[in-house]
Homo-oligomer: A and B are copies of this chain.
Amino acid sequence: MKIERAGERNTIDRRVARTRGLLQDALIALIPEQGYAAVTVDDICQRANVGRSTFYTHYADKDALRSATIEAHLRSIGRRREAASQETGSRLFEFSLPMFEHAHAFRPLHHALLASSGDTIHDELRERIRRAVREELVEKRIGDRGMPAEFAIQFIAGAFLAVLAWWVATDMNLSPAQADDLFQRMAGKGIGA
| Inter-subunit contact A74/B187 (CB<8 Å) | no
Residues of B within 8 A of A179 (CB): 100, 151
| Inter-subunit contact B66/A121 (CB<8 Å) | yes
| Inter-subunit contact B159/A95 (CB<8 Å) | no
Residue of B nearest to A132 (CB): B95
Question: Within residues 127 to 179 of chain A, which ones have a CB less than 8 A from any CB in chain B?
Answer: 128-129, 132-133, 136-137, 142-143, 147-148, 150-152, 154-169, 172, 174-177, 179
Q: How large is the interface on A (under 10, 10 to 19, 20 to 34, 35 or more residues)?
A: 35 or more
Does A19 interact with chain B (Cβ within 8 Å)? no
Q: How far is the CB of A123 from the nearest CB of chain B, in Å?
A: 10
Does A59 interact with chain B (Cβ within 8 Å)? no
User: If A100-B176, A162-B157 touch, does A125 touch B121 (CB 8 Å cutoff)?
Assistant: no
Can you tell how many copies of this chain the complex includes? 2
Question: Within residues 62 to 87 of chain A, which ones have a CB less than 8 A from any CB in chain B?
Answer: 63, 66-67, 70-71, 74, 81
Residues of B within 8 A of A129 (CB): 95, 99
Residues of B within 8 A of A81 (CB): 132
Residue of B nearest to A62 (CB): B120
User: If A121-B66, A182-B147 touch, does A164 touch B74 (CB 8 Å cutoff)?
Assistant: no
Residues of B within 8 A of A154 (CB): 162-163, 165-166
Q: How far is the CB of A72 from the nearest CB of chain B, in Å?
A: 12
| Inter-subunit contact B151/A166 (CB<8 Å) | yes
| Inter-subunit contact B97/A161 (CB<8 Å) | no
> What would 26 A/B residue contacts be, using CB atoms closer than 8 Å?
A74-B125, A91-B184, A92-B136, A93-B132, A95-B129, A95-B132, A96-B180, A99-B160, A100-B164, A100-B179, A100-B180, A104-B176, A113-B122, A115-B168, A142-B193, A147-B182, A147-B185, A151-B182, A151-B186, A154-B163, A155-B183, A158-B163, A162-B162, A186-B190, A187-B190, A188-B191
